């Protein structure tokens, strides 16, 4: 029986992000997505506190990127460069 190739960290993160991205895109209105992204970034600034974390900054940027076209284009270019065979409809 052949072993599956081991997933990279980026592939694991992409797989984990997909359901959340889909839910956010379809259930949170565009203005609220931007506000949510800003709140996540602001919370990430206080990442040294116990409840908050620095992981909130890139998550906030990703949420805001859903609505700002230049960021969406940059996200697509980066995604396509990293994995040309990945077809994720949540960022199209």
**What's the pLDDT tens digit per position in 3-54?**
777 888 878 888 888 898 888 888 989 889 889 999 999 999 988 888 788 8
- Number of structural domains, the chain? 1
Residue 6 inside a domain? The answer is: no
Residue 23's CB is within 10 A of a number of other CB atoms, namely: 11
For the four alpha carbons of 84, 86, 91 and 92, in that order, the dihedral sign comes to positive
| Domain contains 92 | no
Domain enclosing residue 77, as ranges: 11-83
Q: Is residue 4 situated within a structural domain?
A: no
Domain membership of residue 39 (yes or no) is yes
Q: Is residue 41 part of a domain?
A: yes
What confidence score (pLDDT) does residue 13 get?
Answer: 80
């Amino acid at each position: 029986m052949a072993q599956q190739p081991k997933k990279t960290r980026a592939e694991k993160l992409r797989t984990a992000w997909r359901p959340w991205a889909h839910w956010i895109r379809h259930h949170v209105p565009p203005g609220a997505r931007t506000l949510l992204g800003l709140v996540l970034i602001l919370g990430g600034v206080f990442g040294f506190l116990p409840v908050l974390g620095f992981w909130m900054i890139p998550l906030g940027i990703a949420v805001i990127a859903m609505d700002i076209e230049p960021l969406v284009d940059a996200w697509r270019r980066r995604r396509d460069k990293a994995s040309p065979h990945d077809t994720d409809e949540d960022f199209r």
